A and B are shown apart, each in its own frame.
Chain A
Amino acid sequence: MKAHYQRPMGRWYLRPFYLFVYTLRELTAVFVLLYALVLLAGLAALAAGPEAWAGYRQALTHPLSIGLHVLILVAALYNSITWFMVAPKAMPAVFIGTRPLPGLLITLAHIVVFAIISVVTVVLAGAG
């Protein structure tokens, strides 16, 4: 009798079963890395003086930069939502009496904090 059949994994990460819950979430890391590099470049320009800072800000107005940042924003939002969705699984279990605190409540609490932080940050920046 022949050996058992072992199915190859193939490109499992492209199957719909994994693609939306996992693969796209992991892919957001590339955009987080890009943004971290943009911020690091900004710090370097800031340290180099007013002219370098002006040049950095000029570069950010390029249509390619705006387009890239729109992509980064979409990825960042996807990262935020998926992060808050798995948050209840990564933190210690909370019980109220004999009932576990519903994961959905923990996710919603994170989203509320996220919304407050985002609004406050944008308002403070916009106010100059």
Chain B
Amino acid sequence: MNRGNRQIDILISRYDPERDDQPRTERYTVPYAHDSSVLDALLYIKDHLDGSLSFRWSCRMAICGSCGKMINGVPSLSCKTFLRDYAPGPLYIEALHHFPVIKDLVVDQAGFFDKLPESRPWLIRDQERALADGPHRQSPRQRARFASTSACINCLLCYAACPQYGMKPDFAGPALLALVERYNADSRDQGKAERMPMINAEDGVWSCTLVGNCSAVCPKDVDPAAAINRNKLESAKDYFLRFLKIGSGGAE
């Protein structure tokens, strides 16, 4: 990190489960340069000011999806957010909202990962294609259908932006429903009927009220709000047309 000669104050919401009943705020002053990210500042604090600060991070280049934090109340990747944009400060960093805080800026992500298998995020085939038959062919047009939804890095910023998830942790939530749409839109996949029960449920698309902030904060332009609300139309069609066809999804 190029330390630079400017300084900014950073307030961090700290929580130590062994001594705190609820989070407390601590203030740190860090030097920064034009290219210093919020993650750089957190690493500076941990290395030079307070080694007890806990936070997740890995790649520093907006691809691993592990360094999401609330920055001035907005869910953001700390590696993709720059201190210069918050001058003269201070800026306020908290753990991602709506998830239980384990320590400091580290949250329990089970509310997302426990639900992952039910979305069946893999190619489902009526008949598996034999290896000898070669790969599935897909045209650029067919690939384009899930280009945006397949860009998700599971950073969970969209869950921290979704008040419906905050009020109702049983809600499948933005990233998971975008993932469902990613596989349903894949020309190689034939598993839509298996995924419809999840879409059709109260905790599926119907807990969404189109706040839209999931899409606004997404660092990868996945647009989960569109994925969910297009599936409201799909679910409505499935609701009324199930009487006409066999094999529609959803338990009664």
A interface with B by C-beta (< 8 Å): 1-7, 9, 12-13, 15-18, 21-22, 26, 86, 88-93, 95, 97-100, 103
A93 to B143, CA, bound (A): 14
Q: How far is the CB of B105 from chain A (nearest CB, A)?
A: 12
From B100, B161, B167, B216, A4 is in contact (CB under 8 Å) with: B100
**12 A-B pairs with C-beta separation under 8 A:** A4-B17, A5-B15, A5-B22, A5-B100, A12-B163, A18-B211, A22-B163, A22-B209, A90-B210, A95-B141, A97-B144, A100-B144
The reply to whether A89 and B225 form a contact with Cβ atoms under 8 Å apart is yes
The reply to whether A18 and B225 form a contact with Cβ atoms under 8 Å apart is no
Given contacts A93-B145, A98-B147, 14 further A-B contacts (CB under 8 A): A2-B18, A4-B17, A5-B100, A5-B101, A6-B101, A7-B98, A22-B163, A86-B229, A89-B229, A90-B210, A90-B229, A92-B233, A95-B141, A97-B141
From B17, B23, B101, B163, A18 is in contact (CB under 8 Å) with: B163
From A6, A90, A99, A100, B232 is in contact (CB under 8 Å) with: A90
The reply to whether A2 and B17 form a contact with Cβ atoms under 8 Å apart is yes
A contact residues around B210 at 8 Å (CB): 86, 89-90
B199-252 CB contacts (< 8 Å) to partner A: 209-213, 215-216, 223, 225-226, 229-230, 232-233
Most-contacted residue by chain B among A7, A13, A93 (CB, 10 A): A7
From A1, A5, A22, A91, B212 is in contact (CB under 8 Å) with: A22
The reply to whether B226 and A18 form a contact with Cβ atoms under 8 Å apart is no
Indicate with 1 or 0, residue by residue over B171-191, a CB within 8 angstroms of chain A CB atoms. Answer: 000000000000000000000
Q: Which residue of A lies closest to B215 (CB)?
A: A89
